[in-house]
Structure 1
Amino acid sequence: MSTRVELPQHNEPAQGKTLTDRVAFVIDRIRPAVQADGGDLELLEVTKDGVARIKMHGACVGCPSSDMTLRIGIERNLKDRIPEITAVEAVE
């Protein structure tokens, strides 16, 4: 799985929405890159501490690159676009 997931700058989450809605917006923009490698993402929740809990599906499960994808691709994109996000956690 590729670890590089870039979003165009015009794909910014709308302000005024809930934190979960804004995270879902970014996840929906990341999803096609993950699906292109045979995987998928499911946002389970965003905790009150700003931790986005994500379940990875398909080719992401057991893939040696999935942790890199989570940290470098997903977490970085979420933190860059949504300052309230403190971490991203993979849930099995």
Structure 2
Amino acid sequence: MKFTESLALQGLSASIGSVGDAYDNALAESIIGLFKTEVVNRHGPFKTLTEVEFALMEWADWYNNARLHSRLDYLTPAEYEAAYYSQQSPRRPALV
């Protein structure tokens, strides 16, 4: 019920299924599945929660900054972002 109310307050509806269904977490579920496949299944089993947390931090850093991405012309996300911002004209500071 809270989920439905939150969507309604924002003027949104569920992207799949009937309005109010909890199907909008598909992206989160696919990232979790990717993490499980790439880290947990390949490098597990982990003995402590701390080992899992460190593995998650290392993977998230690699995934967000260092992986080569085909949709970015095989640049890393960090390289692509740096190239994008280097092509932008400098912004003038706002007047106070």
TM-score by length of 2: 0.29
Which structure: greater helix fraction?
Answer: 2
**Greater share of residues in strand:** 1
Higher-Rg structure is: 2
Which fold has the larger relative contact order, with Cα–Cα distance below 8 Å and residues 6 or more apart in sequence?
Answer: 1
TM-score norm. by structure 1 comes to 0.29
